Amino acid sequence: QSALTQPASVSGSPGQSITISCTGTSNDVGGYNFVSWYQQHPGKAPKLMICDVSNRPSGVSNRFSGSKSGNTASLTISGLQAEDEADYYCSSFTSSSTYVFGTGTRVTVL
């Protein structure tokens, strides 16, 4: 159950687009369309932003989008805003019928 690999940090200017990658294996990300993305602001509980690879829950801005290719999932934030500055985590169901989170990415708005 190794954590999924994410870049430690990603930054962008307001209005720009950024993409966060999440790399796993064929036993998790590559094998199932059960990849989710979570946003966490300091001192707060995580918030679901994307489920099932690319679906946005009700209330989540359409600036957030998800995709997957092979063993790597991606979260794209377009039109970057100051409020998007937070930590982001991916998660996937695994072949062991467990879940695994990514290592986390700190997004900084310059």
Partner 1 sequence: EVQLVESGGGLVQPGRSLRLSCATSGFRIDDYAMHWVRQAPGKGLEWVSGISWNSGTIGYADSVKGRFTISRDNAKNSLYLQMNSLRAEDTALYYCAKEWSGMDVWGQGTTVTVSS
- Site residues, partner 1 (CB under 8 A): 1, 3, 36, 38, 40, 45-48, 50-52, 55, 57, 87, 89, 91, 96-104
Tokens of 20: 């966060």
Q: Distance from first CA to last CA of the chain, Å, rounded?
A: 34
Q: Closer to partner 1 at the Cβ: 52 or 83?
A: 52
Q: Closer to partner 1 at the Cβ: 16 or 96?
A: 96
Residue 31 — left, alpha, or beta (φ > 0 → left; ψ -120 to 50 → alpha)? Answer: alpha
Q: Least distance in Å: CB of 95 to partner 1?
A: 11
44: helix, strand or coil: coil
Q: Least distance in Å: CB of 49 to partner 1?
A: 9
Tokens of 97: 């019928």
